[in-house]
Structure 1
Amino acid sequence: MTQEAAGTRPETKTAKRQVPRGLKFAVELGPLILFFAINAKWGIFTATATLMLVVPISLGVAWKLAGRMPVMPMVTAALVIVFGGLTLLLNDEEFIKIKVTILYALFGAALLIALRFNRLLLPIVFDAAIHLDDNGWRKLTWRWSFFFFFLAGLNEVLRHALSTDQWVSFKVFGIVALTFVFVLTQAPLMLRHEIKPEDDTSETHF
């Protein structure tokens, strides 16, 4: 007797799909580029409203492409909605600026708190793009955490020191450039602790 005849349906699971990196970057960076362009033409408040509309859309596209909801973009989208809403409601651009500080401080703290309880979040964030032993993940977790705290502190300094247009340029291009450089500097560590798929006999604790 088939499952349909028995009155039950076969279980279905949402499959994880591998998204091409170029498309992934386009989905993640697209809202930022649009934020920069709208700010240049119509100002920070219109750019903030646009970002609030586009970020949930990009999150939906990411979910559709990958077959799951990515954690970090979800947190980012939530903060964009909250602090973007405060920016527009109170007509104060400082809220959308401080969102960046809070976002990176949260990421840094989450990594360290999880590590304190012997949980590794980076393997989830990297989504199996790299395979490291536990020692490598722990070292990388410390480094990423400090880098996030560095970005949070840098944003606090620059949001007071720069004009709004200059700050938007830093947010869109400066943070991306700094992150790219940071990732390159971590390559030696990742190579030292890389696990080849055929040699992977270790267990990673999540």
Structure 2
Amino acid sequence: MRPVSPVLKSTLEYGPLLVFFAVFMLLRDRTVAVAGRELSGFVFATLVFVPMLVASTLALWALTRRLSVMQVMTLVLVVVFGGLSVWLNDPRFFKMKPTMIYLLFAGLLGLSLGLRRNWLGAVLGDAVPLRPEGWRALTLRLTGLFVALAVVNEVVWRTQSDSVWVSFKTFGLPVLMVLFFVANAGLFTRYAAGDSETGAGRD
């Protein structure tokens, strides 16, 4: 993988989401005419977000010549569910997109556990070297996290306003992911590859 500036990488990864948030906040109480159709501010923000994410993902690939499986699956689901929201002028499809992504990730990780395959390590092994038992523990915990995030997303978008959901999507979900990895710092230390510890204790 080619080296890329961390600032540029973060901009490409999170820029489209921040633009979505900004456009929504600007137009949340308005409608926008596009090709003779009246779109809500939410749907118009989705219309802006989808091609931006496609462009930023292609730029990441051009710079690094590598995309993770999660990035590819996320892009596909964003295009599908975002496209449905724009086509049908219905924000519900885009709101369901995180649920589908998290359930898909949970299903794949659960399947890897059942098949005794280290798919997570194949994706993250270069960045987080762990012993096999560490990868199994992390896979199990991430599976639970993704199921929980799917449930939380469903509760938020079905019970809260568009503004609350957009803020939750833009800031809440990334913060929850960061907190998860911080909370599991002990696991990374205990099961670090090359560590002589047995890792038999609980984290």
The TM-score with structure 1 as length reference comes to 0.84
Q: Does the Cα contact within 8 Å between 1:100 and 1:155 map onto a contact in 2?
A: yes
How do residues 35-46 of structure 1 correspond to structure 2 at under 5 angstroms?
35-42=20-27, 43-46=41-44
Greater C-alpha radius of gyration: 1
Contact 1:104 1:152 in 2 (8 A): yes
Alignment of 1:68-79 (within 5 A): 68-79=66-77
Match of 2:14 in 1: 29
Question: Which aligned segments of 4 or more residues in structure 1 are displaced greater than 6 angstroms?
Answer: none
Gaps (5+ residues) in structure 2?
28-40, 197-203
The answer to which of 35-44 and 20-29 deviates more is 20-29
Name the counterpart of 1:89: 87
Question: Are the aligned partners of 2:99 and 2:150 in contact in 1 as well (CA < 8 Å)?
Answer: yes
Partners of 1:30 and 1:126 in 2: CA distance = 23
Q: How do 1:1-206 residues align onto structure 2 when only pairs under 5 Å count?
A: 16-42=1-27, 43-126=41-124, 128-196=126-194
1:148-184 deviation per Cα after TM superposition (whole angstroms, max 9, x unaligned): 1110000000001111111000000000111111110
- 1:105–1:152 CA contact under 8 A, matched in 2: yes
RMSD, aligned α-carbons: 1.6
Aligned length: 183
How does the TM-score come out when normalised to structure 2? 0.85
* Distance in structure 1 (CA, Å) of the matches to 2:100 and 2:70: 13
**Structure 1: 5+ residue stretches without partners:** 1-15, 200-206
Alignment check: 8 A CA contact 1:31 1:55 kept: yes
Amino acid at match of 1:118: R
Query: Deviation of residue 74 (structure 1)?
Result: 1.0
Q: Taking every aligned residue pair, what percent have the same amino acid on both sides? A: 38
Paired amino acid for 1:188: G
- Amino acid in structure 2 at the alignment position of 1:64: A
